[in-house]
Amino acid sequence: MKKNIKNNVWWVGKVDWDLRKFHGDDYSTHKGSTYNAYLIREEKTVLIDTVWEPYAAEFVENLAMATDLKKIDYIVVNHGEVDHSGALPELMKHIPDTPIYCTAHAVKSLKGQYHQDWDFHVVDTGDKLDLGNGKELIFVKMSMLHWPDSMASYLSGDNILFSNDAFGQHYATDKLYNDLVDQCELFEECIKYYANILTPFSKILRRKLDEVLSLNLPIDMIATSHGVIWRDDPGQIIRKYAEWANDYRENQITVLYDTMWNGTKTLAEKIAEGIRSADPDVTVKIYPLAHTDHNDVITEVFKSKMVVIGSPTIANSVLHPVAGFIHMMKGLKFRNKKAATFGCYGWSGESPKVLKDMMEDAGFDLMDEGLKNLWNPDREAQKRAMDYGVEIAKASL
């Protein structure tokens, strides 16, 4: 199905209401997603991106109803990842000689994935493609946002920025535009997307935002490749990205733990109580890592000024849901966040120190050696945990 978004520009993507996991099983998509592709029909006809491979046949069938496939003059691939390029092989069976415009890295990506020698045309930032009727596409490389090949394309005259992954969200909707959907849901998915995918590239993103803004291009719409098109105040998501890219933190402390027989859980709850007693204004949230969605918890870590993490000692180390989660945080390269550790033990008691070392390695600033407790916390131990919470509240300031 096609939908007109402005003048001669059409959305020709796919809404994936079914999707619950993305990037294999690595990213939870509770609200599905969309793969947005766009068709521009000026004197020249251009297709921007395609959809994920399982929907290739449906995509090509719908596209053929939107335009005679043989009339497509150019294909622009803003990004070679399979959720956007997956339908290319099916499409190219019909129009094998159509030129594909993309970055040099995208040529490597497409050749590496599909092993085809299509008619690639490499473009760089500032290169233009004349579409006739006084309109042109201007390309802007978005390297490492979030892949080396990522690129955005700007349609002059209509002032539409086709931003690909940037400014997107995994959010299935047939409403198409940012002003037509629930704003809480929308921004929840935007920040989750940023926290889980873009955090490691924040420094690059700061530079790229400055570069794009310095071009002074009027932007009436940001047409992303996932979720909604930003037509109502598209600058709002650019401003959010500028905020998020700047070592973002709110007045929040997040307590994370796993537990075997509830001793470490009791410490978590008492530490949280101590934090709240010392600072009633701070938001304190507690998450058991073994049965909470890790992508959702990453979003909470992204919002936090301090992370307090606990595990009982097992086999001289820590429980694997906690270790796995710290590994995930390390990959995301969080900066400007403090941390503290805790855990119960029965004999050797290494867990707070193991956690401290892991958290330091993940880039967190640890406040001390952590709190450890022999056996289940009695009243006295619970009081110590509360006092530790008070110290955490002070250290987080």
Q: How far is the CB of 331 from ligand FEO (least distance, A)?
A: 16
User: What's the CA angle centered on 49, arms 48 and 54, to 5 degrees?
Assistant: 145
Considering only residues 186 to 245 of the shown chain, the ones binding ligand FEO according to CB under 6 A are 225-226
What's the CA gap between 20 and 17, in Å, rounded? 9
> Is the CB of 225 or the CB of 266 nearer to ligand FEO?
225
**How far, in Å, are 107, 324, 352 from residue 349 at the CA level?**
53, 20, 8
Q: How far is the CB of 170 from ligand FEO (least distance, A)?
A: 9
Q: How far is the CB of 160 from ligand FEO (least distance, A)?
A: 18
> Is the CB of 27 or the CB of 154 nearer to ligand FEO?
27
Describe the crossing of helices 183-193 and 235-244 by its angle, rounded to 10 degrees. 40
Considering only residues 38 to 67 of the shown chain, the ones binding ligand FEO according to CB under 6 A are none
Question: Which x/- pattern, by CB under 6 A, does the window 141-170 give for ligand FEO?
Answer: -----xx-----------------x-----
Residue least distant from ligand FEO (Cβ): 81
> Is the CB of 75 or the CB of 340 nearer to ligand FEO?
75
Considering only residues 330 to 389 of the shown chain, the ones binding ligand FEO according to CB under 6 A are none
81 binds ligand FEO (CB under 6 A): yes
Q: How far is the CB of 9 from ligand FEO (least distance, A)?
A: 20
**How far, in Å, are 51, 87, 121, 235 from residue 218 at the CA level?**
28, 31, 27, 10
**How far, in Å, are 38, 104, 149, 320 from residue 325 at the CA level?**
37, 35, 28, 8
> Is the CB of 69 or the CB of 82 nearer to ligand FEO?
82
The burial class, CB within 10 Å (0-12 / 13-18 / 19+), for 25 is exposed
Q: How far is the CB of 22 from ligand FEO (least distance, A)?
A: 8
Stretch that binds ligand FEO, among 6-14, 79-87, 234-242, 362-370 (CB under 6 A): 79-87
Q: How far is the CB of 312 from ligand FEO (least distance, A)?
A: 38
The burial class, CB within 10 Å (0-12 / 13-18 / 19+), for 57 is exposed
Candidate residues 14, 79, 135, 265; the one interacting with ligand FEO per rule CB under 6 A: 79
Q: How far is the CB of 375 from ligand FEO (least distance, A)?
A: 48
CA 41 to chain centre: 31
- At which residue do the structure tokens 């955490």 appear? 392
> Is the CB of 163 or the CB of 264 nearer to ligand FEO?
163
Stretch that binds ligand FEO, among 10-18, 77-85, 107-115, 182-190 (CB under 6 A): 77-85
Candidate residues 31, 84, 231, 384; the one interacting with ligand FEO per rule CB under 6 A: 84
> Is the CB of 13 or the CB of 370 nearer to ligand FEO?
13
34 binds ligand FEO (CB under 6 A): no
Amino acid at 186: L
Which ranges constitute the DSSP H helices of the chain? 56-66, 82-85, 88-94, 104-114, 183-193, 202-214, 235-244, 263-278, 294-303, 320-332, 351-361, 379-395
Exposure on the CB side of residue 37, measured as CA atoms within 13 A: 32
CA-derived radius of gyration, the chain: 24
Give the neighbor-by-neighbor strand order of the sheet with 128-132. 128-132, 135-141, 151-155, 160-164, 221-224, 229-230
What's the CA gap between 126 and 56, in Å, rounded? 31
Binding-site size, ligand FEO (CB under 6 A): 9
Q: How far is the CB of 383 from ligand FEO (least distance, A)?
A: 49
Candidate residues 49, 73, 83, 269; the one interacting with ligand FEO per rule CB under 6 A: 83
Stretch that binds ligand FEO, among 76-84, 183-191, 249-257, 359-367 (CB under 6 A): 76-84
Residues involved in catalysis: 23, 79, 81, 83, 146, 165, 193, 226
Reduced to 3 states (helix: H, G, I; strand: E, B; else coil), residue 283 is: strand
Stretch that binds ligand FEO, among 75-83, 172-180, 234-242, 257-265 (CB under 6 A): 75-83
Summarize as ranges the residues that interact with ligand FEO (CB under 6 A). Answer: 79, 81, 83-84, 146-147, 165, 225-226
